[in-house]
A and B are shown apart, each in its own frame.
Chain A
Amino acid sequence: MSFSKIKRRDFLKIMGWGGVGATLVGCDLPTTVTLEEGKEKVVSYLMPEEYVIPGVGVWYASTCQQCPSGCGIHGRVREGRVLKLEGNPASSVNKGRLCQMGQASLQAHYNPDRIAKPKIRRGSSLVDATWEEAYGLIAEKTANISGSKFAWMTGSVSGHQSVLLQAYLESIGSGNHFVHETINNAVWAKVCQDMLGDSNPRIRLDKAQSMLSFGADFLGTWGSPLHFSTEYAKFRTSPRGTLIQVEPNMTLTGANADLWVASRPGSEGALALGIANQLVSKQGLSMSGLPNSVQSLIRSYTLDETVTATGVDADRIADIAATLKRRSPSVVLAGASAQGHEHGYQCVAAAMVLNVILGNIGKTIESNGEFAYASMAPVSGNTHSLVSFSQAAADKRFDVVFFSGVNPVYTAPKSLGLKESLANIPFKVVFSHFNDETTAMADVVLPLASTEEDWGTHVAPYQAGVGEISIQQPLMEPLSTETRGFGDIVLTLLKKRKETAYEGFADYYAYLRNAFSTIPAEHKNGASDEQFWTDVLAAGLIDVGVKKTSLKVKGVEFDMPKEMGNSSAMILAPSARLGFWDGRHANLPWLQEAPDQISKVVWDSWAELHPSTAKKIGVKEGDMVKIASASGEINVKVYIYKGVHPDVIAVPLGQGHDAGFSRYAKDRGVNSLSILDPKVDKMTGELALYSTNVKVTKAAKTDDVLVRFGGSETQVGRKLVSTIPADVYERTEGGDHVA
């Protein structure tokens, strides 16, 4: 019975009841939302497991795949559906925490825009096909291909997926594996490799008393965000560590700092050298371990010189040096905004020099050991691969290319010309969950099972002294019968290439199961094979240990271009957020809806501008600006904010997708990567993300408003946080306690 069917007479009767129980009258109306009898199905179990009770969740361990950090998760499963994810407390990576991207993984799984069927290009459009057709076409195109003509571009990859992927490349005789991640620590890794002999040293935030971070957003996007959040909590407790953050625009980490210093992008290296100079000349530390050329470089960065090169106050520079010395041991880190320059390597190297002078190596920067099984070890992505792939595609070097876990057509700046050069590749196969900018260019699209439906093993790229293999297991049956797990697809492709070694495995599960049977007995704790497997699945991981290594400080020579700090052009900062990440999560409504950590903007892009710059340009919050580089232009609404260097306009990554990428991301904001100049760090070849000069002008206003959650930057007199000037405090109440 629905509301509309209540007759007038009934209605009057109901009204007539009046007085008695009047408050409950409404509650007796059959509600319009009550489901009618017989409209839904109830399905019983055929034969339930003894531990399954309908209505009561069972938790299974698996691994998050929303970013390369590889956190362990627990998924709550009820009546065959996964309902909620949490962090796996046993995982050393995240210790039970789960970030918002991890939470939103469910929305990727249940997303209505997931690709449900393989697709094959017929003329200008992609049409549904069967797996046999897709496999057949791939087999045909790769039948006689020479190894050098084949390439595979992936995101960061590890575990048995990496083993199978390498096996496939070998079966074709190709060494062309391009591993691409826009958000990476590639320059840091190279500097660590060169100066410490270990590309992935262990950072002991818990042991440090102070921290100087050049744009390392370790609470957001640097390294392993959840791991470092926990370590940071230790750093902040008894005694409370001091965090100094230097960056062009404030990140989540910067917002937590005791001292936040705005840097003009590219001047980070000069600032580091200036601080080094102070440590040596004023704080009595020695730089004797460094090469002579670096010593004289440090000597040249006198206080005056550093002020000129960086625009940072002399007092502040001296103060930072004094704090680092006083609050020892310290640790100095460098991240995206420090490495994103043509001299990015030097900037990061200068930061690492500070660690050497401060004596942090061996104290707060330790060796992390090496993962014991090389073939499963994590291969971390970079942007160098994107640049070289774009070049290779332009040079028509490939006939067949596979793409998985990447969306290079979105992440590549237009100036690399990747989209155009893809036309030179006759056959492109894209493994994907969703239609996106890259699947649009594909000849074959292979729909992947979601994280919650697939098997896998993962080795987190950053682990604190342990060698855990984290298990990914299905939390429920696939939603579509026509999607396939990544491992299953590669295994089938290997079989189609008549690789006999794989013929015995019915599916990827069988392959993994066998792999775990062959793990050396020392890891099995005396358990039977079956028990061991069950234990590993229940725990979600197994620690197979690491080979001990040690750090060896090596003198690395580098120079520092002088004029970097003081050019007056504006610079575009395509800053990254734990949210959309490199844009891959813009299709998840929870993340669109979650206000940005800094600007509180929802469902949109924005450009952060310093109030003084905004005044110069003549814009106020919500106005449109045109940001033009040599490589293109974008129009975006302005958010005025003091946490950005006056020479910088910051447009966070993630939006500006083509219409194909889901109903939630379409027609929303801009992609700041698209207008970057094709500059690279000269030492590593990494894209110089923070070095594109732009011209910012006021653009015609649109009706669109900038939608922000919350609103004001002031306390509007509400005394949420009471403050008192230091001299008044000293005079009136706390004089005795001030040092």
Chain B
Amino acid sequence: MSVLQHLPLGRFIEAASRGSRQTKQTVQVSFIVMLLMAAMALFSAKVNAEVPNAVPPEGSYSGIHVEQPIEFPHDTHADINEINCMYCHTYARRSKVAGIPPTSKCMGCHSVIATDKPRIQKLTEYWENKQPPLWNKVHDVPDFVHFTHEKHIKRFVIDNEDLEVENVSEVCAFCHGEVKKMTVADKVKPLTMGFCQRCHQANDGPSDCWHCHK
């Protein structure tokens, strides 16, 4: 039997990247900017804190540099402007995938911020053509590995009472490295099974095969 994770709204599926029969409401730019301000205030970052109640996984990797359609500067966002990782990667705590932020989210700020920059103009062009950029995937695990962001964020962030949520980037860094010092992200952690296993052992994570191989 199916467990309905969501009440089906019943409409034609309206994910805008697949076209829609419904008219889209226009993005309430000012509202979103306000939200962003509020979020920034909430998530004002502290730098370089240790993650309490956790042993970071060991290991490093030197991945190839992957070009992206827009050279997205993580440093500008997460470091200089101290935007919390989970502000844009909002699905990380709700789903197995962290998700690339929807283009509408980018435009929420960039309809008014830095509109003179070439990268933003390129982004605006995507938005106006109703085509999200095709990003190149940097972090990937094989199809037989069931990795879920949600469980990891729960363990290290949400259930971790001693962690200030401002420091969530330190948790992300376990597997993604110091992304806030990068422009586009590079793969700097091996993400091999041994890497996962050692971390699970150090942090009392589950070690049954089926937790990851379903």
Contacts and interface: CB of A to CB of B under 8 A. Distances in A.
B8 interface: yes
A40 B140 contact: yes
A402 interface: no
B99 A538 contact: no
A37 B12 CA distance: 34
B7 A55 contact: no
Interface in A21-79: 21, 24-31, 33-49, 51-61, 74, 76-77
B8 A35 contact: no
A40 B137 contact: yes
A15 to B, nearest CB: 15
Interface stretch (B74-82, B101-109, B160-168): B101-109
B5 A59 contact: yes
Interface of A: 21, 24-31, 33-49, 51-61, 74, 76-77, 80, 84, 86, 89, 96, 473-477, 509, 534-540
Given A28-B192, A537-B10, A41 B91 contact: no
B100 A42 contact: yes
B137 to A, nearest CB: 4
A34 B18 CA distance: 29
Contacts of A56: 5-6, 94-96
Contact of B97 (A47, A54, A473): A54
B193 A59 contact: no
A48 B102 contact: yes
B197 interface: yes
Nearest to B150: A55
Nearest to B69: A41
Interface string B86-99: 00000100111101
A477 B140 contact: no
Contacts, number: 192
Nearest to B21: A509
B138 interface: yes
The secondary-structure label for the interface of chain A is loop
Contacts of B13: 58, 60, 77, 80, 474-477
B48 interface: no
Interface string B1-34: 1101111111111111111010010010000000
B103 A47 contact: yes
A729 B144 CA distance: 53
A80 B136 contact: no
Nearest to B4: A59
Contacts of B49: none
Interface residues of B, number: 64
Nearest to B68: A38
Interface stretch (B37-45, B110-118, B127-135, B172-180): B127-135
A76 B2 contact: yes
Contacts of B140: 34-37, 39-40
Contact of A46 (B64, B102, B137): B102
- Interface pairs A-B: 3 shortest CB-CB: A537-B10, A538-B10, A55-B95
A84 B1 CA distance: 11
Contacts of B192: 27-31, 34
Given A27-B193, A46-B131, A47-B27, A54 B8 contact: no
Given A61-B10, A477-B19, A540-B10, 7 more contacts: A34-B192, A38-B64, A40-B140, A44-B103, A48-B104, A89-B1, A509-B21
Nearest to B96: A55
A477 B131 CA distance: 16
A542 B27 CA distance: 35
A21 B97 CA distance: 30
B190 interface: yes
B52 to A, nearest CB: 26
Interface in B120-169: 127, 130-142, 144, 148
A657 to B, nearest CB: 32
A54 B135 contact: no
A60 B10 CA distance: 6
A46 B129 CA distance: 10
Contacts of B119: none
A44 B5 contact: no
Given A37-B64, A76-B2, A538-B9, A45 B137 contact: no
A586 B139 CA distance: 40
